[in-house]
C-alpha cells in the first residue's frame, strides 16, 4: 500500500479510545510535510470510515485501507 519512496509516519492508535485514532491523525497532520504519508493503525472498525470521511472533507488523499488480524491500517497522504 502506498509509494515506497515517500516519507511515512506510523501512528499506532490501537487501543486508543481517547483521544482516538482520528484525533491522533488530525494532530499528526500538523507535524508532517506536504507529500508525506501517515499510516494509522486502529483496533476500531469505525476508523475505516471516519478517517476517510475527514480526509475527504479537508481535501487530503485517502491512499487506502487494509484490515489485517483485526487491525485497520488506514493510509493517507498530506496534499496541501
CB contact set of 61 (below 8 Å; sequence gap of 6+): 55, 76, 77, 79
Per annotation, catalytic residue among 4, 15, 18, 59: 18
Site string for other proteins, 16-45 (x = CB under 8 A): xxxxxxxxx-xx--xx--------------
Count of beta carbons in the 10 Å neighbourhood of residue 10: 13
Is there a catalytic annotation at residue 24?
no
Cβ(44)–Cβ(55) below 8 Å: no
Contact residues for other proteins (CB under 8 A)?
11-24, 26-27, 30-31, 46, 50, 53-54, 57-58
Catalytic residue set: 18
Amino acid at each position: 500500500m502506498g509509494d515506497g519512496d515517500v516519507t511515512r509516519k506510523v501512528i499506532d492508535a490501537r487501543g486508543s479510545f481517547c483521544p482516538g485514532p482520528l484525533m491522533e491523525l488530525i494532530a499528526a497532520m500538523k507535524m508532517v510535510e506536504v507529500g508525506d504519508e501517515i499510516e494509522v493503525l486502529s483496533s476500531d472498525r469505525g476508523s475505516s470510515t471516519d478517517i476517510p470521511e475527514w480526509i475527504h472533507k479537508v481535501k487530503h488523499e485517502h491512499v487506502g485501507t487494509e484490515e489485517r488480524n483485526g487491525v485497520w491500517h488506514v493510509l493517507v497522504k498530506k496534499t496541501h
